[in-house]
Amino acid sequence: MRVLTWNLWWRFGPWEARQKAILAVLREQQADVIGLQEVWARGEENQAERLAGELGMYWAWTPYYLPERWQKRIGDSSVGVGLGVLSRWPVVAQHSVRLPVAGGRDDGRVAMHARIDSPAGPVPFFTTHLNSAVHDSGVRCAQVRTLVHFVFEHRGNGHFPAVVAGDFNAWPDSDEIRLLGGYRTSPPVPGQSFIDAWEYADPAAPSATWDNTNAYIAGTCQPSVRIDYIHVGWRGPEGQGGVRSAHRAGHGAVDGVWPSDHAAVVADLAD
């Protein structure tokens, strides 16, 4: 089973030109389950639905609670923003939870659960997008605690472990990522921990998903770093969900257009 996570950069930059580039990358990767962040919706149009239609997949979407902060940045109050899931197999249930702000800026961020009816049995898939301010580690820690309890509530009792993917806006050695892992510090839910799929990537492969070679962020002077993740619970009794490999995608221009300001992360899991 191939899983992908990607922040699609909403309607920022040359968003219309970027749509073809996004679709080209998704077609090339042929993922079975995809978690998307900063997905736009306007009236009857939804980016997740549009991509699902092009790829022949099922889809689900949930909005952020406070789109106004996003809308002010592009001067268009008619466009929504949210999380999306695309799946090769039916999405038979979905839930969401609002993430706490713990004194930080409230962008109405959420976590989303989609239960996937795969041939390997039900897959509990989660995607999220945490606060982005560099100094918001404490906020992200609070958000991770809420996320982990949300996962525990909805992971079910099937053999496939929970898959938790998204834009965490946090460096790999940060408190919030260690907290999510739960094996380098005490986990928020006793006994529940997750493996960072990138542990199974080629150690020589570039890992940055926020990469200052990207044309959209090259002028920010920010360091290149991995802030997007796929985390997987401990594998099932017959190896279900065991990570086989991981790599980046969408980390270059497609026909002269960079698809997003983030690169995607892709992981292959045993099913």
Tokens coding 230? 């796929």
**Percent of the residues in the chain that have a pLDDT greater than 90, as a whole number:** 95
Mean of per-residue pLDDT scores for the chain: 96
Express each pLDDT in 97-129 by its tens digit.
Answer: 999 998 888 989 999 999 999 999 999 999 999
**Residue 262 to residues 6, 209, 227, 238, 242: CA-CA distances in angstroms?**
7, 5, 9, 34, 26
Sequence-separated contacts (24+) of 77-81 with Cβ below 8 Å: 78/42, 78/43, 79/10, 79/11, 79/40, 79/41, 79/42, 80/40, 80/41, 80/42, 81/10, 81/38, 81/39, 81/40, 81/41
**265, pLDDT greater than 90:** yes
Express each pLDDT in 146-189 by its tens digit.
Answer: 999 999 999 999 999 999 999 999 999 999 999 999 988 999 99
pLDDT attached to residue 129? 98
Give the residue extent of every domain in the chain. 2-269
pLDDT attached to residue 221? 82
From 162, 164, 168, select the one nearest 141 (Cα to Cα): 168
Fold entry, domain 2-269: Deoxyribonuclease I; Chain A (3.60.10)
Dist CA 129 CA 222 (whole Å): 19
**Percent of the residues in the chain that have a pLDDT greater than 70, as a whole number:** 100
pLDDT attached to residue 220? 84
Q: Phi and psi (nearest 5°) for 152? A: -60, -40
- Three-state SS for 264? strand
Q: What is the pTM of this model?
A: 0.97
Residues 247-271: what's their mean pLDDT? 97
pLDDT attached to residue 54? 98
pLDDT attached to residue 40? 98
Express each pLDDT in 195-244 by its tens digit.
Answer: 999 999 999 999 999 999 999 998 888 899 999 999 999 999 999 999 99
pLDDT attached to residue 72? 94
**63, pLDDT greater than 90:** yes
Dist CA 1 CA 177 (whole Å): 24
Q: Phi and psi (nearest 5°) for 51? A: -65, -40
